[in-house]
Amino acid sequence: MKRIAYIPARGGSKGIPMKNIAELGEFPLIAFTIIAAQKSGLFDRIMVSTDSEEIAAVARQYGAWVPFLRYAEFAQDTSKTIDAVVSDKSRLEAMGEKFDEFVLLQCTSPFRTAVDIQGAVALAEKAKAGVVSISPVEEHPILMRTADADGKLTNVLSCSSTCRRQDMPPYYRVNGAIYVNFWDELSPTLSLNDNPYGYIMSRSDSLDIDTKADLAAARSRLGN
pLDDT tens digits, 94-133: 999 999 999 999 999 999 999 999 999 999 999 999 999 9
Long-range own/partner contacts, residues 81-89 (CB < 8 A, 24 or more apart)? 81/8, 81/192, 82/186, 82/188, 82/190, 82/191, 82/192, 83/188, 84/8, 84/10, 84/49, 85/6, 85/8, 85/49, 85/186, 86/186, 86/187, 86/188, 88/6, 88/47, 88/49, 89/183, 89/186
Looking at the chain, the whole-number percentage of residues with pLDDT higher than 90 is: 79
CATH number (domain holding residue 61): 3.90.550.10
23 falls within a domain: yes
58 falls within a domain: yes
179: helix, strand or coil: strand
State residue 162's pLDDT score: 73
User: Phi and psi dihedrals of 79, rounded to 5?
Assistant: -70, 140
* Residue 41 banded pLDDT, cuts 50, 70, 90: very high
Distance CA 145, CA 158 (A): 10
State residue 21's pLDDT score: 94
pLDDT at residue 12 is higher than 80: no
* Residue 81 banded pLDDT, cuts 50, 70, 90: very high
* Total structural domains within the chain: 1
For range 162-181, the mean pLDDT: 86
pLDDT tens digits, 55-78: 999 999 999 999 999 998 988 888
149 falls within a domain: no
150 falls within a domain: no
State residue 175's pLDDT score: 96
**In the β-sheet with 3-8, what is the strand arrangement from edge to edge?**
45-49, 3-8, 101-105, 172-182, 131-136, 197-200
171: helix, strand or coil: coil
Distance CA 211, CA 221 (A): 16
155 falls within a domain: no
Distance CA 136, CA 121 (A): 20
User: Phi and psi dihedrals of 28, rounded to 5?
Assistant: -70, 150
DSSP codes, 7-42: EE--S--SSSTTGGG-EETTEEHHHHHHHHHHHHT-
Average pLDDT, the chain: 93
212 falls within a domain: yes
| pTM of the predicted protein model | 0.91
217 falls within a domain: yes
Domain membership of residue 41 as a residue range: 3-137+171-221
9 falls within a domain: yes
